[in-house]
């Protein structure tokens, strides 16, 4: 993966960038390390972090479950002045269309349709629940500036309306989103009240004696 390209295209004006590679062995440590950076920012709303933490881990885990690759990259940035959190998770795997095609229901859909479907509820290649990108799209609706999902030769942009356009080839998948860090939101509504992200967040990050293995 060309990290310089990702930085130029998505973080050109960012000043506090964190870049991490993750795999099955260190995903939990990388996730917690990046979340800790935000937790110690007093201007970031706790309710936002509670919802974001769930979606963030799901997007990272998608790389290891669905991409066919063993390694992904995550890039984050926080701007106190702009009240802005930027998160990008990328891989150079099979891409969303080929991944969904492993499920007979989506075997003949186009690349545009694959991007359209991937943020819908319960759309999956059969290896997961199809909830990670759906809940992330709900997070954007509650507290986001934008959501960008790029795979193959197409890019989905969601900022109220959903637009899918042709774009420069990316062999794999990029999920990029921006959040307004100073918004107080309802974490349970982001996950459609199917779990309690506030309780999960508190168990992980407010009690050092509890580990991520209890939750995932």
Q: In the predicted model, what is the mean pLDDT of residues 121-130?
A: 92
- With bands split at pLDDT 50, 70 and 90, how would you rate the model's confidence at 21? very high
Q: Please provide the size of the chain in residues.
A: 216
Per-position DSSP letters for 94-126, written without gaps between them = SHHHHHHTTSGGGTT--HHHHHHHHTSTT--SS
- With bands split at pLDDT 50, 70 and 90, how would you rate the model's confidence at 208? low
Domain 16-214 has CATH 2.70.98.30: no
- 3 state SS of 90: strand
Reply yes or no on whether the pLDDT at 212 is more than 60: no
pTM: 0.94
- The mean of the pLDDT values for the chain is 93
Reply yes or no on whether the pLDDT at 209 is more than 80: no
- 3 state SS of 46: helix
Domain residue extents for the chain: 16-214
CA 117 to chain centre: 16
- With bands split at pLDDT 50, 70 and 90, how would you rate the model's confidence at 2? confident
Predicted pLDDT at 206: 82
Phi, psi for 110 (deg, rounded to 5): -80, 170
């Amino acid at each position: 993966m060309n990290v310089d390209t990702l930085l130029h295209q998505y973080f050109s004006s960012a000043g506090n960038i964190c870049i991490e590679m993750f795999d099955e062995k260190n995903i939990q440590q990388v996730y917690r390390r990046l979340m800790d950076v935000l937790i110690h920012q007093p201007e970031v709303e706790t309710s936002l972090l509670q919802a974001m933490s769930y979606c963030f881990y799901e997007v990272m885990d998608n790389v290891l479950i669905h991409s066919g690759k063993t390694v992904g990259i995550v890039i984050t940035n926080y701007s106190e002045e702009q009240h802005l959190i930027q998160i990008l998770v990328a891989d150079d795997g099979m891409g969303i269309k080929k991944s969904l095609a492993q499920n007979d229901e989506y075997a003949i859909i186009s690349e545009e349709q694959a991007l359209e479907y991937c943020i819908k509820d319960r759309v999956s290649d059969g290896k997961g629940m199809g909830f990670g990108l759906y809940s992330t799209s709900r997070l954007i609706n509650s507290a986001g500036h934008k959501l960008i999902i790029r795979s193959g030769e197409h890019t989905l942009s969601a900022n109220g309306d959903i637009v899918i356009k042709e774009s420069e080839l990316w062999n794999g998948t990029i999920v990029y989103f921006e959040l307004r860090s100073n918004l107080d939101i309802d974490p349970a509504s982001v996950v459609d009240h199917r779990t309690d992200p506030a309780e999960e967040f508190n168990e992980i990050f407010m009690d050092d004696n509890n580990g991520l293995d209890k939750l995932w």
